[in-house]
Amino acid sequence: MKKLLPIIIAGLSFSAMHAQETTVDDALRYAVENLTGSARFRGMSGAFGAVGGDLSAINQNPAGSIFFSNNFATLTASSYNSRNSSLYYGTKARENDNSLDLNQAGVVFVFKDNNPKTDWNKFTLAFNYENNNNFNNSIYFRGINPYNSIDRYFLRFANGLPQEGGIKLGVLQNAFFGDLNFIDQQALLGYNAYIFNPDDETNLDNTTYTSNVPTAGNYDQQSYVLSTGYDGKFTANFATSYKDILFLGINLDYHYTDIVKTISVFEQYDTADTSDLESVQFDTETHTFGNGFAFNLGAIVKPTKELRLGVAYQSPTWYRLEDEQRQAVISNNAGARYIYNPGITMLYDAYTVQTPSKWTGSIAYIFGKRGVLSADVSTKDYSKTKFRPKDDFSGLNSYMGSALDNAIEVRIGGEYKYKQVSFRGGYRFEQSPYKFDQTYGDLTGYTGGLGYTFGDSRIDLAYSYDHRMMNQMVLSSGMPTDLARIDRKNHNVSVSYSINF
């Protein structure tokens, strides 16, 4: 794997903190949904809001479970392949990531009431698990930056943010890493890696610092971003029907998430003077974990036997999250190698993320036992995404309120049945959550699938592809305009086994 190798080792002690650096990406990884679920669901691009009859369809519209005729169970396994091509200051690179996952398992129980005195003649109970998001992903980019060094990140903290002055030299020389706040820690990392020096080395009250990085420009930079983890969702579903015309449903969703993200940035300098700083590597590993809750309401009506119309409301998901972080820096300076690894895992105070709610309208036409055509249109206002406590994230919340926008998602799918075989296909389009989609582009996806029925059981196969362009920062602070352009393509294959019982 490239030249970069993370130098972070296991933390030797733990310390608590009250603030860390958080970005919009930390919210969008939970707010932006992926196409997941059973192979039949994925084979039709998830356009099941008015179709139902699939355990993953209850995520689009909870009323969909009422269309099962018998008790039913489904188990799904998927292969994920992500291909990230990067372009950074004219240099191209590529990174692939592959993983396997048992991503869906669910069961529905059907109860019928033949009492002629009631018009509520059927109800269902369903329980379903899905890997709501697979976070396994690798991004690598490199290039010659003619303008900015990563020293800007460390100097930003050392010389003081807009709301505070610079950090005293005495703090950097004498403090224990675990006793410092996040701002002072980042400055200490840069100081101990000889990335900058104080302007007055004899004054412990010195608060201004100058970079040791050569000023000639043309900084050779590499970055490797590795993510692993998931956002799992367990759903309890109830649905009922009225006169076989109106169908109502509700979901209660419990999320649990666990993700590890490692960012390793390497920079080297073209200098003949061995007294200068020669290279710097900066590694940050962040472990985020927690749980969340949401609910979902849905209704489907049948104006005719063939036509179905649906509407669903998905509430915000309220996540309670915690972060653990480890950092280290390595540098080559004047022919010597310096490694500063505090050996500490920082524990941050818990915080919450509220994702936006979503409305979905659906239409489906059923061609008897021959097939179905369906379409879903969803709307989600990403500007409603919030971090809490508000006082700790007021600046970020304000930025998301102005930079993010309402986004439309369209899913179209079809299925044709011939004897025991089903043929499926679909299309998916999702607008960028940003007002200007250069940062995080629109998504376009295509799917296809097959199914074969063996009496009371069925096996399904699906292939899905989606594509999105986005920007990746070298570091979140100090270098916001130094961006790699990432072309991300996902190729996924799913296999499901289902059985009536």
DSSP state of 45: T
Stated as kind and residue range, the H or E segment containing 153 is: helix 151-158
Number of other CB atoms surrounding residue 383 within 10 Å: 18
CA distances from 468 to 63, 203, 216 (A): 31, 52, 36
| Structure-model confidence comparison of residues 92 and 13, the more confident one | 92
Judge contact between 218 and 149, C-beta under 8 A. no
In the prediction, which pLDDT does 13 show? 47
> Average of pLDDT values for 173-180?
90
| DSSP secondary structure letters along 318-348 | EEEEEEEEEEEEEEEETTEEEEE---EEEEE
The residues, any chain, with a CB within 8 Å of residue 368's CB and separated by 6 or more, are 306
Stated as kind and residue range, the H or E segment containing 164 is: none
pTM: 0.92
Question: Tell me: the pLDDT tens digits for 179-221?
Answer: 999 999 999 999 999 999 999 999 999 999 999 998 777 899 9
Question: Tell me: the pLDDT tens digits for 90-128?
Answer: 999 999 999 999 999 999 999 998 888 888 989 999 999
| Structure-model confidence comparison of residues 187 and 165, the more confident one | 187
Distance from C-alpha of 359 to C-alpha of 377, rounded to nearest angstrom: 8
CA distances from 88 to 24, 141, 143, 154, 469 (A): 21, 6, 5, 22, 14
DSSP state of 176: -
The residues, any chain, with a CB within 8 Å of residue 24's CB and separated by 6 or more, are 396, 399, 400, 403, 404
Number of other CB atoms surrounding residue 255 within 10 Å: 21
Ranges of H-type helices in 254-406: 394-403
pLDDT at 355 over 90: yes
> Average of pLDDT values for 374-397?
95
| DSSP secondary structure letters along 94-109 | EEEEEEEEEEEEEEEE
Distance from C-alpha of 29 to C-alpha of 159, rounded to nearest angstrom: 32
In the prediction, which pLDDT does 271 show? 67
The residues, any chain, with a CB within 8 Å of residue 254's CB and separated by 6 or more, are 233, 234, 235, 291, 292, 293
| DSSP secondary structure letters along 201-262 | TT-TT---EEE-S-TT--EEEEEEEEEEEEEEEEEEEEEEEETTTEEEEEEEEEEEEEEEEE
In the prediction, which pLDDT does 303 show? 96
Low-confidence winner among 11-25, 234-248, 450-464 (lowest mean pLDDT): 11-25
Question: Tell me: the pLDDT tens digits for 341-350?
Answer: 999 999 999 9
Residue with tokens 């579903």: 237
> Average of pLDDT values for 35-44?
97
In the prediction, which pLDDT does 275 show? 58
Judge contact between 447 and 485, C-beta under 8 A. no
> Average of pLDDT values for 40-59?
97
| SS3 state of residue 260 | strand
Distance from C-alpha of 392 to C-alpha of 311, rounded to nearest angstrom: 37
Six token digits for residue 303: 């104006």
Burial classification of residue 264, based on how many CB atoms lie within 10 Å of its CB (0-12 exposed, 13-18 middle, 19 or more buried): buried
In the prediction, which pLDDT does 116 show? 81
Confidence of residue 334 (pLDDT cuts 50, 70, 90): confident
CA distances from 498 to 54, 79, 451, 463 (A): 10, 18, 11, 18
How far is C-alpha 220 from the geometric centre of its chain's CA atoms?
A: 29
- % of the chain at pLDDT higher than 70: 94
In the prediction, which pLDDT does 11 show? 40
- Mean pLDDT rounded to a whole number for the chain: 92
In the prediction, which pLDDT does 19 show? 55
pLDDT at 10 over 50: no
Question: Tell me: the pLDDT tens digits for 359-382?
Answer: 999 999 999 999 999 999 999 999
Q: Give, in words, the CATH class of 13-149+213-376+383-421+440-500.
A: mainly beta
| Structure-model confidence comparison of residues 22 and 280, the more confident one | 280
Strands 406-418 and 386-388 come out as: unpaired
Q: What is the CA radius of gyration of the chain?
A: 26
Which residues face 24 on adjacent strands?
A: none
Distance from C-alpha of 404 to C-alpha of 394, rounded to nearest angstrom: 15
In the prediction, which pLDDT does 113 show? 84
Confidence of residue 476 (pLDDT cuts 50, 70, 90): confident
pLDDT at 129 over 80: yes
Judge contact between 31 and 385, C-beta under 8 A. yes
pLDDT at 8 over 90: no
